[in-house]
Structure 1
């Protein structure tokens, strides 16, 4: 069994979907070479392939791993099908493909006619939430579509040894992809008007310079994993306003650190949070602010401790060893040709 690994550069050392393979030592990784393609022929081939690839982008790393995939007859797992599964659909060995994006974005990637041709070429498709499952079962038989959740490293992302201070509670937001910035800005404005400097507002994102922020907000970019974990542990509440989602790394990381979460009820968020988070309607800034203020009012109380324990307990259901065991069952089907 082999797996094609493309490391997402903004994930931390213990974050990201490829951490699944840390708990599947029997799977051989195919990783792209470091640095640019070394020969002129390889660079020319990559340009040719990239021009004919309909996926949003096809960097040299994907090309390099595709060459290995297509040359192997072994069963293989393409970890990021949204970005890579196109040329490797012609490989000789059986293939499982994981898709990460919500159905609406998958439909933007490729037209329906192309999806109807592409999806059946994978022997098995792995999805991360029920909405994706419904999308793919319209394209292939349902027994070939498997809901295996995204996981979290519950040994790296852990709660603090003591509850965070309630003197100046922190409202934390992490991430950039599919975030609802309008809702976030409105909540920040309302919190600042009501609490002033009595509440700390921090956003950790890759878009620190790409948009205006409320002047009371501290925006951080490129923080270390240790700093990020410290922020999760210190936060009174994690505010995650979203436009859409399947799994969400920041959500799972925060819950694993015992951080109470307020998130938009879209896509797969309810599937991952269960009853361990406050979910708000899409685009509803007033509801988001009220939910955050409710958690802030509980900071330092037994009710807040209950929220923190519930978040951690829910995250433990998605610990990578449990997810890896589910994936092994799929790998057996793949290798047996079923």
Structure 2
């Protein structure tokens, strides 16, 4: 069950559903209408519609009622809840009466402020009694949960990527296919929203251009801040690419991939970039240090000057950046192949079901 229907969470849910279907399990994806539901149906996975907004609000009570009807019809042996919103509604409905896994993909209290932050921490502590297995996507995410007082059995199952889809390819060929010039290129993939921090990268970009005058920045994604940020940017070296499901070529076209996020659980973008053999520059938010290793630069969160310097260094010396990318490819093959994650989740589900019986 998932509320997000796009981006990283949806990608994880879809892969797990396919992998469990291939094990012979009867799998149903419960989510709002959208890309996740469409892709799951196309893959032959059963889907049940659950209209729900991304954030809690006045309509949450009605969403819980609708979810209760869905789960009553499906009658699952085990429930796997992805994201804080699904974790809220799902645990209010199930209340521990069926084996329940909860995978936050970034704690809600890590992005909330003020009274909402306190309420989210309190809820997660209380809801732990209805969680048979907490699944965190990074060591940092688990540590944040424990620091907030979230108790109970927990495992870290790092996100993984398709190492066949994302693999090193020829940069010049990709640029020609995409219509991009053969110049030093930074790529940033993500929803255009404050959490993803593209405004920080845009703030750093003039300094990058001062050091590497022919540099180009490609922003891949759409979101609530797209119009405002684009209107405020008059730099012709910035390409606003928009949403694109086929990002493999865009990683290949890059000299460096940038993740300027304010918060993450464990982002897929660095892993996809590393699998593609590309260097990564990212702020040190949850999961980044664990994923990137020697494949690039991990910077103090919010340090725009350091971001500009790290990006410029790699654009000015693509051979050194490619060496980091080669380290990243080996690291992903060893630690972040998504088949490993699917096997780990399947083992956890098996253990829960054996215990329930």
> Which of the five TM-score ranges fits, normalised by the shorter chain?
0.7 to 0.9
Aligned to 2:126: 117
Q: CA deviation at 1:82?
A: 3.7
1:171 to 174, 186, 191: 186
- 1:318 matched residue in structure 2: 336
Residues 1:333 and 1:150: Cα distance change in structure 2 (over 3 Å) = same
1:283 to 302, 307, 316: 302
The alpha-carbon deviation at position 12 of structure 1 amounts to: 11
Task: Tell me if the contact between 1:185 and 1:214 (Cα under 8 Å) persists in the aligned partners.
Answer: no
Residue 287 of structure 2 corresponds to which residue in structure 1?
268
Are 2:111 and 1:105 equivalent residues in the alignment? Answer: yes
Equivalent in the alignment of 1:220:
241
Q: C-alpha distance in 1, partners of 2:336/2:263?
A: 20
CA distance in structure 2 between the partners assigned to 1:191 and 1:145 by the alignment: 42
CA offsets 1:92-133 (integer angstroms, 9 cap, x no match): 321111111145237738344332221211111111122321
Aligned mates of 1:253, 1:149 — CA distance in 2: 13
Q: Distance in 1 between matches of 2:248 and 2:79?
A: 33
**Which residue matches 1:29?**
28
Deviations 1:212-233 (A, max 9, x none): 22423111212241xx211110
Counterpart position of 1:38 = none
Indicate whether 1:78 and 2:75 are aligned.
Answer: no
Q: 1:110 to 1:89 in 2, by over 3 A?
A: farther
Shift of 1:297: 2.4
- CA deviations over 1:173-209 (Å, ceiling 9, x no partner): 111352234431232111223333x111111121331
CA RMSD after TM alignment: 3.3
With normalisation by structure 2, the TM-score equals 0.76
How many residue pairs align between the two structures? 314
Does structure 2 conserve the Cα–Cα contact (< 8 Å) formed by 1:8 and 1:16? no
Tell me what 2:141 maps to: 132
Counterpart secondary structure, 1:31: strand
Aligned residue in 2 for 1:209:
227
CA distance change for structure 1 residues 191 and 314 in 2, over 3 Å: closer, same or farther? same
In 2, distance between residues paired with 1:275 and 1:283? 21
Of 15, 22, 25 in structure 2, the residue corresponding to residue 19 of structure 1 is: 15
Instruction: Please name the residue that 1:329 is paired with.
Output: 347
Q: Tell me if the contact between 2:211 and 2:312 (Cα under 8 Å) persists in the aligned partners.
A: no
TM (norm. structure 1) is 0.80
Is 1:297 the counterpart of 2:307 in the alignment?
A: no
Match of 2:324, SS?
Answer: helix
Q: What is the rounded CA distance, in whole Å, between the counterparts of 1:149 and 1:57 in structure 2? A: 32
What is the CA-CA distance between 1:32 and the residue it aligns to? 4.6
Cα distance in 1 for partners of 2:289, 2:58 equals 28
Partners of 1:233 and 1:204 lie apart in 2 by 13
Query: What are the superposed Cα offsets for residues 122-180 of structure 1, whole Å, 9 maximum, x if unpaired?
Result: 11111112232124333223xx1111111212222222146778951111111135223
| Partner Cα distance (2:156, 2:337) in 1 | 15
Q: Structure 1 residues 9 and 162, CA, compared in 2 at 3 Å: closer, same or farther?
A: closer
Deviations 1:57-95 (A, max 9, x none): 759888655533355251221233443433333363211
Aligned to 2:269: 250
Most deviating of 56-65 and 177-186: 56-65
Contact 1:245 1:266 in 2 (8 A): yes
- 94, 100, 105: which one pairs with 1:95? 100
Shift in CA distance, 236/19, structure 1 to aligned 2, threshold 3 Å:
same
Measured at CA, do residues 182 and 78 of structure 1 come closer, stay the same or move farther in structure 2, by a change above 3 Å? closer
How much does 1:235 deviate? 0.2
- Structure with the larger helix share: 2
| Residues 278 and 203 of structure 1, relative CA distance in 2, 3 Å threshold | same
